[in-house]
Every structure is written in C-alpha cells, then in structure tokens.
Chain A
Amino acid sequence: MAEAFQFELVSPERLLLSEQVIEVVVPGTEGYMTVLAHHAPLMATIKPGVVTVKTPDGKPDSYVVFGGFVDVTPDGCILLAESAVHVTDIKADELQNRIKDAKEDFEDATTREEKSRAEDLLGQLTTLQEAIKAA
C-alpha cells in the first residue's frame, strides 16, 4: 500500500480539494510529473492541463487547471491554480473562449517574446482540449 500525503488544490475563489492522496500528477511547465509521498521539496510553475489525483482507495479523480504553481513540501503538496474546475464541470465553450483569447493575443503580440509566449499558451490549450475530448 502506497503511503498517503496531504494534497490541497486551491484556486483564488475557493479551496477545491484538501485530502489525503497517494499520488498526484501535475502538468509542470516543463512536462507532466507525478508526486508521491516523500517527494523532494519542489516548487514549479504549471501550465494549463489536467491534474489527476489518486486517493488511498485507489479512485482517480481529475481537475482541469489553467496555470499556476505547485509547492511540494515534506508535509504535503499544495497546488495554487489560477483557475481550476473538476473535469466533469468544464464547459466546452469556456475552453473555446480561452483559445480564442489566446489566438487574439498571438495575433496582437508585437515582440518576438510575447509572440512565443502566446503561441506556447495556445499550444497548451489546444492539447488540453484534445485531452478532454478524448476523456
């Protein structure tokens, strides 16, 4: 039996989840990663994507997050999301709107740096959309 640790998913509007879990998969900016108990202290920014948590009874649960960062301490793991919703509550048109915004940002971007950032975001959002559709 894998060891459990405290995981919290917080968005600015509310505390979405605070419970014991055995495994969390977070979408880090530099790639998805799995956090287990006794993970080395880590701080990472996250990109839009799906967070999957596994509770001690082995039930997986997913949340969609849009950017934020994750703080792994010896006592647990805190995910501060810019915005987060349960995967069943995500609305297709909300995602569409975000993609549209990202596209506009990309077109409006003037400097190369802005342009590449907007492109990254757009890419992440499209991947996310496909991932949700598949689920």
Chain B
Amino acid sequence: MPSLKDLRNRIASVKATQKITKAMQMVAAAKLRRAQEAAEAARPYSQRMAAVLANIASNVDGDDAPVLMSGTGKDDVHLLIVCTSERGLCGGFNSQIARLARDHTRRLLADGKTVKIITVGKKGADILRRDLGKLIIDHVNLREVKQVGFTNADEIGHKIIGLYNEGAFDVATLFYSEFKSVISQIPTAQQLIPASAIGDAEPETAGDAVYEYEPDPAAILGDLIPRNISVQVFRALLENAASEQGARMSAMDNATRNAGDMINKLTMSYNRQRQAQITKELIEIISGAEAL
C-alpha cells in the first residue's frame, strides 16, 4: 500500500503531465490552423497546374510525350517516397503511413519486384528501418524546417527526377496522410511517375481556339512535368503537416483526459487512505483512554 506521501507525489506528477499535454494540445491547435492555411493557400496553384497540364497533354501526341509521363514501359523497380513527421507524440499518424508503405512493399516484393524507399521525416525512417532497412536508399531530413516551403519539395522532386533519369526505378509512388478533419487523417498512396493520372482530368476547353505555344508544346510539357512532381510533393508535405498537427491534437486531447481520470482515481484513494488513518488514530486514542 503506497503511503500518503507517495500518493501526493503521484498526483502532483500526473498533474504536471496533464499540464504538458494540455499545452501541447493547444500548440498543436495553433499550428494546425497555420498548416491548414498553408495548405489552402497552395491549392490554387496545384488546381491551375492540373488544368493547364490536362490542357496541354491533350495537345501533345503520345510519341512526343516526355518519358516522365509515359513511363519506361516496365514496372520492375518501384520507388516509394514515404513522408512522415519529424516528431512523435501524434498518435497513430506515423505508424499508419508506415504500415501502408510496408504492406505495399510486401505486396511488391511478393510479386518479385525490386523496391527502393526514400524516407522523408525521421519518424517514418525509424519505423521502416527496423524491417525494411536494406531497401532505404535515401533519407530527407526536414528537422530544421519550421514551415514547409516549396524549395523543400522542389529538392525532393529534383532528387526523384535525377534518379529517374539515371534509370534507377520505373514507378514512383508517394505515401502521405491526407487531411480530412482533426479526427480523421487518411494514409494515401499516390502514383507520381508515370504521371498517367493527369490525362484523366477534363481539359478545360478554351473554345475551339488554337493555342499558341512558345516554345513548342513538347518542350513546355518537358518543363511542366518535373515541376508538377515538385508540386505534388509539396502538396503531400502540406497535407502531412496539417494531418500531423491534427493527429497530435487529438492524441494530446486523449492524454489530457486520461490524466484527468487518473487524477480522480488517485485523489479518491488518497482521501480514502487519509480517512483510514484518521480512524486508526482515533481508535488508538480511544483505546488508550479506556485502558486507563
């Protein structure tokens, strides 16, 4: 049975923990708002980019299309870009993304494909290193980055394209968590290369007007597609940032509530024990007086 002093200490320590989780929740809420704003501000660009790409893709013949769009024609080597957070204490956020990537990897390996992994963010790298360590070829550190900028995404994009041009892989897939709401973030896999999906968007018909291109369409497309990859990575990083804060917010909310329950329970047994001690002392006094 813990003594009264032990209980008092435990209550104090749980209270301190509760203060910390409460503060973290509030910080996450503030950061979430900022991350959401950033994600919203970036939306027009990717929307316009998709419209323009669809528009131009419909004007370029299949033969002229850059290899980034049409692919290498094989799918032997897969590159997985796994985006996670740099910090923990955000519930199942990182492990969910890692699990999706791991399942995907297992499936590909079972099919006899080669898999290479690039991790973005420390937490995912830590999880994946345990059983897929040999497959990780690179890691991108965003530890010092407070607010994800386009330059961060651009670096990753260039890295991917560089590898592609060296023929290091055939298919690239991006793993991140899509932000639905504070309580729901959905781990998502999105194929980056070959960029087949962009052809699906309805081209914005500019009447029947003939477009002028400067320089020629294939050259513009060759310039656009690498940029689009960076934009996709950027979008994923922003979604991830918002999801991370959302996940942390609800995790910390839970932790605060748990700490509250624990304090109640501990206070209850503290009071009980105090009462027991008082009763015991009273009995001692009474029986001492009777003995006289």
Question: Chain B 115-137 against A: per-residue CB contact (8 Å), 1 yes, 0 no?
Answer: 00000000000000000000000
Contact check, B215 vs A29: say whether CB atoms are below 8 A apart. yes
Closest to B149 in A: A13
Q: Are A44 and B38 in contact (CB under 8 A)?
A: no
Question: Interface-forming stretch among A56-64, A75-83, A85-93, A124-132?
Answer: A75-83
For residue B69, CB closer than 8 A to chain A, the reply is: no
B1 interface residue (CB < 8 Å to A): no
Q: Does B142 sit at the interface, judged by CB under 8 A?
A: no
Which B residues between 190 and 224 are near A, CB-CB below 8 angstroms? 204, 206-207, 209-215, 217, 219-220, 223-224
**What CA separation (Å) do A53 and B151 show in the bound complex?**
26
- Which segment, of B27-35, B42-50, B77-85, B278-286, faces chain A? B42-50
Please give, as numbers and ranges, the residues of chain B lying within 8 Å of A43 by CB-CB distance. Answer: 52, 55-56, 211-214, 217, 220
Q: Please, which residue of chain B has its CB at the minimum distance from the CB of A68?
A: B227
A135 to B154 Cα, complex, angstroms? 30
Q: Which chain B residue shows the least CB distance to A28? A: B214
In this complex, which of A8, A29, A80 has the most chain B Cβ atoms within 10 angstroms of its Cβ? A80
Pick from A30, A41, A45: contact of B223, CB under 8 Å: A45
Assuming the contacts A71-B52, A80-B52, asked whether A44 and B206 have C-beta atoms less than 8 A apart, the reply is: no
Does any Cβ of B come within 8 Å of A40's Cβ?
Answer: yes
**Chain A contacts of B217 at CB under 8 A?**
43
Q: Choose among A15, A74, A80 the residue that contacts B49 (Cβ–Cβ < 8 A).
A: A80
Assess the A13–B214 pair: CB atoms within 8 A: no
**Is the interface on chain A under 10, 10 to 19, 20 to 34, or 35 or more residues?**
20 to 34
User: Quick check: is A4 within 8 A (CB to CB) of the other chain?
Assistant: no
Contact, CB under 8 Å: A42 / B38: no
With a cutoff of 8 Å between Cβ atoms, the chain A residues found around residue B213 in the complex are: 42-44
Q: Please, which residues of chain A bring their CB within 8 A of the CB of B230?
A: 12
User: With the chains together, A108 CA to B144 CA distance in Å?
Assistant: 27
Contact with A along B214-252 (1 / 0, CB 8 A): 110101100110010011001000000000000000000
Question: Does A34 sit at the interface, judged by CB under 8 A?
Answer: no
Bound: A44/B212 CA distance, A: 8
| B207 vs chain A, min Cβ distance (A) | 6
Q: In the complex, what residues of A have CB within 8 A of residue B150's CB? A: 11-13, 82-83
Residues of A within 8 A of B (CB): 8, 10-15, 28-30, 40-45, 68-69, 71, 73-74, 78, 80, 82-83
Shortest beta-carbon contacts, A-B, top 3: A14-B41, A44-B214, A12-B150
20 extra A-B contacts, CB within 8 A, seeds A28-B214, A43-B56, A69-B52: A8-B48, A11-B45, A12-B234, A13-B45, A13-B149, A29-B215, A40-B209, A40-B212, A41-B206, A42-B212, A42-B214, A45-B215, A45-B219, A45-B220, A45-B223, A78-B48, A78-B52, A80-B52, A82-B150, A82-B227
Residues of B participating in the A interface, judged by any CB pair closer than 8 Å:
38, 41-42, 44-46, 48-49, 52, 55-56, 149-151, 153-154, 204, 206-207, 209-215, 217, 219-220, 223-224, 227, 230-231, 234
